[in-house]
Amino acid sequence: MKTKRESGIQEKLNHDAERIVGTFISNARGFGFVEVEGWEQDLFIPESEVNGAFHRDRVQVELLREQKGKRQEARVVAVLAHEITRVVGTFDKTGKFGFVIPDNEKLSSDIFVPIERSKGAVTGHKVVAELTSYGDERHKPEGKIIEILGHINDPGVDILSIVKGFDLPMEFPEKVLNQASRAAKDVSAQDMAGRKDLRALTMVTIDGEDAKDLDDAVSLSKEGNRYFLGVHIADVTNYVQENSALDWEALKRGTSVYLVDRVIPMLPHALSNGICSLNMGEDRLALSCLMTLNEKGEMIDYEIAETVIRVDQRMSYTDVNQILEGDEETRSRFTSLVPMFLLMKELADLVREKRKKRGSIDFDFPESKILLDQRGVPVSIKPYERNAATKIIEDFMLLANETVAQHFYWMELPFVYRTHDFPDPEKILKLGTLINNFGYHIKVKSGDNEIHPKEIQKLLGKIEGTQEEALISRLALRSMKRAQYTVDCTGHFGLACQFYCHFTSPIRRYPDLQIHRIIKEQLRGRMTENRIEHYRGILPEVAKHSSETERRADEAERETEKLKKVQYMEQRIGEIYEGVISGITSWGIYVELPNTVEGMIHVSRLAGDYYYYSEETYEMIGRDTGRSYKLGQKLEIMVDGVDYFQKSVEFVLAPETEE
């Protein structure tokens, strides 16, 4: 029988359950979690308490009794709404029915499909199934095939399946394409009226060799000890009118998505690669942030203006970097521009040093550059390194973004900011414990375990060039929160600045497009009380939706990279590589190779002893031999296999290492 106190606790838990609503995240092993908005930690749902909830369902939960030292458990008491209505997977035909085996590893059950609803799909077809029933404890979910993407081995079908799985919109509606086509007219005298004419300024675009949507140009000159820096951004809002079909489509997409084999643009090509792209030698409309800086790299004046520009030269990061490194052949091709590029390096170094002094964190991870053949088969994977030219553009764009954000913050107008909150204290404590094993430490404020970004920056400085650099950098990054779009200017922890927004990419990011509208209305004196109220009403949802679509794009990009890495390593089973231990868990050791591919050695494959994981020292230790595997340790491995379902690579110790 319950005591009075226990009954009181249960009553409180039941009362609280009325208000606990969240999103159910399922796990292939049957259990799940519920994410509750505003809660630091999600709730654990044991398999016996899932009660028919499907992945991504909106659910109401009831807390179970808290267990000391463990994650709070809960049970699902009601499914309020289903978010997933379609599932992408591989069809498997069995007699008079079939199953769709979902690509999403979080979906724990196959989807039953009656033969009359299979649309003629055969075993091995990648399909899209619409759910007609979500199943229960005794029945599998049911569905009908609504689209056959092709056979699992057909070129491009693998990436297309990921595109469909994330519900990324590929084709533009005809109305949107027609609007884009009508809007994409050459710049006329009427378009230029009332704008600052900057066509006499020498300016360039600097992008990757294969970039097609060029939305930012830079200009720079120096008089005495003053630098005059211009960051010129395509005026996309001139062609995308508010509440037009184009605008609604751009908002729905939220961002362009850059996958391994394709780009899914936010705007149709007529705009993104055409009139909105700052193509060399062509008149273009822009919003310019014209900044004056002193010899210390400090901002002493600025102006934000509607302008007309004409880019003198389209440059690549490679060419600019070679110019800065003194390559005579490249310098001879761009003789007249060389002084400006040297000046850019000079100013960027000043600006970066100033940012570094205040504590800005610069995570310099090599991204993966994956090259595919015509059939979509990966033929090369290597790190895509940043160079001096990419850093110059980053520095100038950051400066413009900060300047615009600060300007509009003090004007007290509705705006969309890019914010990054302080890290979770528990994660910082964990990071501190881990780096102590390597002989490093970080200072935190006693009492609240809050950390200044300068401490992270100092840590990154200390580990630069060491064996453990990549590992500790990644662990430090994982201790951070995710940056997001908000209407409140709460600061950016990673950049150690109070004011920040995204102003520089309106071709590929909706928040940039949205704030361009606000900037132009303010510049034209049209920001009336009605318009202020209008923006106050719409911006919270714009910010929330933009954060969600950005996260979706990041996840889709990551999934396509993982898939191509699996395909690449499948061709190299049996080959030996040297890697670095990048992670250790109770189930195995993760090893990262120089080409950015990460794989796992399962604990059962560590020969010669029974190994256990030490949470205190983050090591895998042999119980009898005492042999240990530590983070950052170099290791020779052999590629043992791949798992397409998990999109993972399996390693074993190389024979010499085992011995």
At 657, the pLDDT band (50, 70, 90 cuts) reads low
The maximal CA–CA distance of the chain, rounded, in angstroms, is 90
Task: Provide CATH code, domain 4-81.
Answer: 2.40.50.140
Task: Look at residue 448 in the predicted model and tell me its pLDDT.
Answer: 63
Q: At what angle do helices 510-523 and 245-253 cross, to 10 degrees?
A: 130
Of residues 71 and 310, more confidence is placed in: 310
Average model confidence (pLDDT) across the chain: 90
Per the CB < 8 A criterion, the answer to whether 27 and 108 are in contact is yes
Structure tokens at 217: 């140009």
Quote the pLDDT of residue 306: 98
Tokens of 648: 């993972």
- Mean pLDDT across the stretch 87-91? 95
Mean pLDDT of the region 107-127: 92
Query: DSSP states of 304-368 as a string?
Result: EEEEEEE-SEEEEHHHHHHHHTT-HHHHHHTGGGHHHHHHHHHHHHHHHHHHHHHT-----PPEE
Mean pLDDT of 454-466: 84
Domain 86-154 CATH class label: mainly beta
Task: Write a three-state SS string for 45-58.
Answer: ECHHHCCCCCCCCE
Q: Nearest Cα to 512, choosing from 230, 235, 187, 177? A: 235
Task: Report the DSSP pairing between strands 313-316 and 204-207.
Answer: parallel
Percent of the chain surpassing pLDDT 90 = 67
CA atoms within 13 A on the CB side of 92: 9
Residue 9 has a pLDDT of: 45
Nearest residue to 543 (alpha-carbon basis) of 519, 510, 516: 510
Assign residue 454 a region: left if phi > 0, alpha if psi is -120 to 50, beta otherwise? alpha
Higher pLDDT, 625 or 272: 272
pLDDT value of position 305:
98
| pLDDT-based confidence at residue 69 (cuts at 50, 70, 90) | low
**Sheet holding 619-622: strands in order across?**
611-614, 619-622, 628-630
What pLDDT, on the 0 to 100 scale, is given for residue 343? 98
Distance CA 620, CA 587 (A): 10
Do the domains spanning 4-81 and 86-154 agree at the CATH topology level? yes
Whether the predicted pLDDT of 13 surpasses 70: no
Helix (H) or strand (E) holding 547: helix 529-570
| Full-model pTM | 0.88
How confident is the model at residue 315, as a pLDDT?
A: 97
CATH class of 572-658: mainly beta
Number of Cβ atoms within 10 Å of the Cβ of 335: 8
Alpha carbon 95 to chain centroid distance? 43
Q: For 28-52, what is each residue's pLDDT tens digit? A: 788 899 999 878 788 999 988 888 8
Tokens of residue 261, six digits: 């084999």
CB hemisphere CA count around 353 (13 angstroms): 10
Q: How confident is the model at residue 659 (pLDDT cuts 50, 70, 90)?
A: low
pLDDT band at residue 582 under the 50/70/90 scheme: confident
Residue 100 tokens, joined: 């769709």
Per-residue pLDDT at 430 exceeds 70: yes
Phi/psi of residue 629, nearest 5 degrees: -115, 125
Q: Provide CB contacts within 8 A for 133, sequence distance 6+.
A: 139, 141, 142, 143
Predicted pLDDT at 447: 58
Torsion angles phi and psi, residue 589, rounded to 5: -115, 130
- Residues with Cβ within 8 Å of 529's Cβ and at least 6 positions away in sequence, in order, are none
From the list 396, 388, 391, the residue with the least C-alpha distance to 323 is 388
The whole-angstrom separation of Cα 104 and Cα 55 is 10
CA quadruple 50, 56, 60, 64: dihedral positive or negative? Answer: positive
What is the mean pLDDT of the segment spanning 148-171? 93
Q: Which residues, listed in sequence order, are joined to residue 299 by a DSSP beta bridge?
A: 293
**C-beta separation of 323 from 331 below 8 A:** yes
Give pLDDT, residue 461: 85
Return the pLDDT at 635. Answer: 92
Domain ranges, ordered by start, for the chain: 4-81, 86-154, 174-418+494-560, 422-480, 572-658
Both tokens assigned to 310:
């004409």
Per-residue pLDDT band for 426 (boundaries 50, 70, 90) equals confident
As a whole number of Å, the CA-based R_g of the chain is 27
| pLDDT recorded at residue 182 | 94
What pLDDT band is residue 200 in, cutting at 50, 70 and 90? very high
Residue 477 pLDDT: 83
Contact 133, 87 (CB under 8 A): no
pLDDT tens digit string along 372-383? Answer: 999 999 999 988
627-641 residues labelled b (16+ CB within 10 A) or e (exposed): eebbbbbebbbbbbe
Number of CB atoms found within 10 A of residue 377's CB = 12
pLDDT tier for residue 658 given thresholds of 50, 70 and 90: low
Mean pLDDT along residues 420-429: 85
At 579 the pLDDT is 92
Tell me the residue length of the chain: 659
High-pLDDT (> 70) share of the chain, %: 95
Q: What is the pLDDT of residue 1?
A: 45
Give the range among 31-40, 336-345, 493-502 with minimum mean pLDDT.
31-40
Return the HEC string of 553-587: HHHHHHHHHHHHHHHHHHCCCCCEEEEEEEEEECC
DSSP state of 116: G
Lowest mean pLDDT among 340-349, 353-362, 373-382, 473-482: 473-482
